Amino acid sequence: MNTSPATDLRQTALDCVSDMGDIFWDYGTRRDASGQYRDPCEVAADAVEKTLREVVFDVQGANRADALLRAEYETLIAELPKKPTDGQIIRTLVANADWTRNGASVVLQLAQRYGTSVLRNALALAAAMQIEDGEAGL
């Protein structure tokens, strides 16, 4: 099966189903259509396509949410002096991003200590583990 990204989800679904091999019963159009049976390969392709669309929709939604959040924080930081102090950043997060002082301090420390590479991986792990709010209670 071709694993490169495809924009034609129907074709991708058909490719997935064809790669499943001969797992479907012997459907005969002339024999089975009269009983209003559908070709099981088509039923499977419909199910795979529906799932692919849901995955794409979820990914696009997550990407949009991530982009909006990044834009919000970029705007906040852009309004500060060129080299803001920790206190200025914390005050901005409290005033404009609905953080408590403690929460803003922790978020700033995490950003400074770990950066995007580690935090991106931590975000992916937290999402996979379905952890919305951690044990810190921020």
Q: Based on the fold, state whether residues 90 and 49 are members of the same structural domain.
A: no
Q: Based on the fold, state whether residues 15 and 67 are members of the same structural domain.
A: yes
- Cα–Cα distance for residue pair 109/107, rounded to 1 Å: 5
Q: How confident is the model over 104-138, as pLDDT tens digits?
A: 999 999 999 999 899 988 888 888 888 888 777 66
List CB contacts of 73: < 8 A, sequence separation 6 or more: 97
- Cα–Cα distance for residue pair 82/37, rounded to 1 Å: 68
Band of the pLDDT at 3, cuts 50, 70, 90?
very low
What global pTM score does this model have?
A: 0.56
* pLDDT tops 60 at residue 95: yes
Q: Based on the fold, state whether residues 18 and 39 are members of the same structural domain.
A: yes
* Closest by CA position to 92, among listed 82, 102, 80, 106: 80
Band of the pLDDT at 26, cuts 50, 70, 90?
low
DSSP category for residue 138:
-
Q: Based on the fold, state whether residues 65 and 11 are members of the same structural domain.
A: yes
Print the domain residue range for 39.
7-78
Q: 63 or 78, which is more confident?
A: 78
Q: Based on the fold, state whether residues 105 and 89 are members of the same structural domain.
A: yes
Most confident of 2-11, 22-31, 76-85: 76-85
Residue 1 domain-assigned? no
Q: Based on the fold, state whether residues 74 and 89 are members of the same structural domain.
A: no
Q: What is the pLDDT of residue 67?
A: 83
Sign of the alpha-carbon dihedral angle for 57, 62, 64, 65? positive
